[in-house]
Structure 1
Amino acid sequence: MSAGLLLLVCAGAVLYSAEAQDPYTELPDYYKKGVNLTLEQLNSHVGVHHHFRFLRSLEKSDIESGFGTRYVFHNFYLKPTWCPKGTPTSSPQRCPFRNDRPLMDCAVCYKTAEDQIQTNPKPYLDCIQKPRLTEAMRTARIAHCKKMNYNSGAPTLLASKLPS
């Protein structure tokens, strides 16, 4: 009887873990675009030999400034996988994580209009292996994103005063 119950519990655990959502798929599209941009840049680097996958978000913020414009800041971890760079895979999300390499701590900030990343201001990307990230580097990232010129446009009609 107890063996049957144990088998039932194990089968339930396997089914539960199989249905668990990948953290990347749960991100809103405007955050996914920043992760994708970061992965493209990272994979184009000569020193990177394996694919990376999104692991989890550390900090997220977005400001919607109207007219389909949004300003996004996203700090997240990427984890290396066993799939070599350049190997055609139908989905990089299927590459198994490897635990013998450090995580990449990435920060990205950018402007989107109609859900497309804009080139002005230029998107800011910064990734470094987690053990090498210092508090000064973290502060510099945030300062860089804060000083980017985020101008949401002219004052609206409601903000203007009518003559008396």
Structure 2
Amino acid sequence: MYDVAKILDFGLVRTQVTTAHADPLLTQPGTFAGSPLYMSPEQVNSYHTLDARSDIYSLGAVAYFLVTGRPPFDGETVWDILTAHARDPVPAPAQVNPAVPPDLERVIVRCLEKLPANRFPDAASLGSALSACDCARLWTAEQAAEWWRQQNGAAAEPAASARDSARLGVIQE
């Protein structure tokens, strides 16, 4: 497997273990946390009702950016962006990038549903849906190099980070 995406910044992760004393390093209830470009509607409207489906929305917003080159919603102010997440329909990724496969687009759009009940219930369900997409097949080093040549106009080889992942046992070559 080549060209593996790695999530490196978990700066907003909080423990689910409750203690008698609030940890000043953790996000406190009632505070604003996260990037407005990737916040779920429930984060905008009601901080108290967050669950894994809120993370599914945010991951969908990241996926949207990855396939279109832009966030699902933008605006001149933070308020404009937050309001759009809460009420505006998401533009279809294929409207921005016609090369987005329809099955992948359906997965991304489902992640970005306004109502949490309409999203994937958990990461396992999302993973299954992504695995079923035609574009999810594994590709070879040669296919990866060809793709990068088409994108950059220069020869490329699998990134060192992919080799490191294989060496550490994260992925199998």
Q: Determine which structure has the larger helix proportion and give its number.
A: 2
TM-score, length basis structure 1? 0.29
Q: Quick check: which has more Rg, 1 or 2?
A: 1
Q: Determine which structure has the larger strand proportion and give its number.
A: 1
TM-score, length basis structure 2? 0.28
